[in-house]
Amino acid sequence: MQSEQHADPTPAMESLNKKPPHSKKYERFGEVIRHFTLDETQQLFDSIDNYTHKLIFEVIYELGCRVGEFVRIQVKHVNFNRSTVFFPAENTKTKHARISYLPKGLINEIKSILKQKGLMNKRGDRVRMPEAYLFHPGKRRNKPYTPNRIRQIFQTYVNKAGLQQIYGKDSLGRNLKMFTVHSLRHSHIMHYVVDRKVPLPIVQKQAGHRSLKTTSVYLQPSTEKMAEVYSEARASCRGSLDVDESRNEPRGPKNEARASSATKSFQDMTI
């Protein structure tokens, strides 16, 4: 009686233990950081007709924070004297606590709202309900907005401002939107690093990046900065090439003659 031959189970076991290839959670928009220009940021804020909603997105932009960090801000986290907001480690993505600066004008607007809601004394700045969330839906002071609700509100206004763009579809056929509420964080970093020339370590601390390398990614020239530099370069060399900017093509007798000659040569080649 012949002994049965058993296949070596090792390859099969290895294939079972082999980890599947890592799948991306979302498609990236190439290597382009999806941020608003300064003009687009102002256009977005100007489109918001709800005072509280406008303040929400202005605070997110100026803090440069993530939406998940924003919704967890409580009144006790705001230092009204120093114009700062404290992010406890458990409320941040990196699990590292940080303190971020908020412009005095926004601090004053927040104080005004808190006084209207009875969360702060009308005379003086003594906080009456430190555990209340800074922004909350309706009168539910101990219940914060959800990140998804903030995202929904944001999309309403970015569409109203006519800024939204669709740049593709994901693996499930859903539209990929150019701008999300996270674009406000990208915009803060890009504007302060590139446009306002704030030193990288300062912006790194404000935004809560663990590594300076992450912040340095924003040093890449933005599209509008590239256009600005090229425009200035062209303006400084007027006369070397007479170009009609409105038509984006050379003009003048010599250029027209060249174009006519080139057309005739091409026709001769095709006969």
22 falls within a domain = no
Per-residue pLDDT tens over the stretch 98-116 = 999 999 999 999 999 999 9
The CATH number linked to 123 is 1.10.443.10
Mean pLDDT of the chain: 82
Per-residue pLDDT tens over the stretch 109-135 = 999 999 999 999 988 889 999 999 999
**Can you give the pLDDT at residue 165?**
87
Per-residue pLDDT tens over the stretch 48-70 = 999 999 999 999 999 999 999 99
148 falls within a domain = yes
- In this predicted structure, which of 144-153, 187-196, 245-254 has the lowest mean pLDDT? 245-254
CA 124 from chain centre, in angstroms, equals 36
How many CB atoms within 10 Å of residue 33?
15
Per-residue pLDDT tens over the stretch 72-86 = 999 999 999 999 999
Radius of gyration of the chain (CA): 28
The packing angle between helices 104-116 and 51-63, to 10°, is 140
126 falls within a domain = yes
254 falls within a domain = no
Domain containing residue 93: 38-219
188 falls within a domain = yes
Q: Give me the number of domains the chain comprises.
A: 1
245 falls within a domain = no
224 falls within a domain = no
Distance (Å, whole) CA 242 – CA 238: 7
Using CA atoms, how far residue 264 sits from 64, 71, 250, in Å, is: 58, 67, 18
Encoded tokens for 169: 């579809």
The pLDDT-based confidence of 90 (bands split at 50, 70, 90) is very high
Per-residue pLDDT tens over the stretch 141-177 = 999 999 999 999 999 999 999 999 888 888 888 888 8
Using CA atoms, how far residue 3 sits from 6, 10, 108, in Å, is: 9, 20, 87
75 falls within a domain = yes
